[in-house]
């Protein structure tokens, strides 16, 4: 976690699909990091953005901000 400048007290989340401890992985395009399950290929587990995981390892699934479709007159 030090490599990614994360809080050292961050608890890695457990994968909700298989229960494995997730790890931080750098995106291939270098734009950031995310939590990944080691079993993503074999069990189809999905990754989570860093902001979707609380410091205690709880996956919160924060929803992205939705843009308003209202037109301003």
Segment 25-52, tens digit of pLDDT: 999 998 889 999 999 999 989 999 999 9
Work out the pLDDT band at 8, boundaries 50, 70, 90.
confident
Rounded Cα distance between 45 and 38, Å, is 8
Sign of the CA dihedral running 39, 41, 44, 45: positive
Work out the pLDDT band at 69, boundaries 50, 70, 90.
low
CA distances from 38 to 18, 34, 43, 53, 68 (A): 10, 13, 9, 17, 37
Q: What is the pLDDT at residue 5?
A: 77
pTM reported for the whole predicted model: 0.73
Q: What is the pLDDT at residue 16?
A: 93
Q: What is the pLDDT at residue 63?
A: 56
């Amino acid at each position: 976690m030090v490599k990614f400048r994360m809080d050292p007290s961050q608890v890695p989340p457990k994968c909700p699909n298989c229960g494995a401890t997730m790890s931080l992985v750098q995106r291939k395009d270098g734009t950031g990091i995310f939590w990944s399950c080691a079993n993503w290929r074999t069990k189809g587990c999905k990754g989570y953005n860093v902001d979707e995981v609380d410091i205690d390892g709880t996956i919160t699934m924060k929803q992205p901000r939705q843009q308003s479709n209202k037109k301003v007159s």
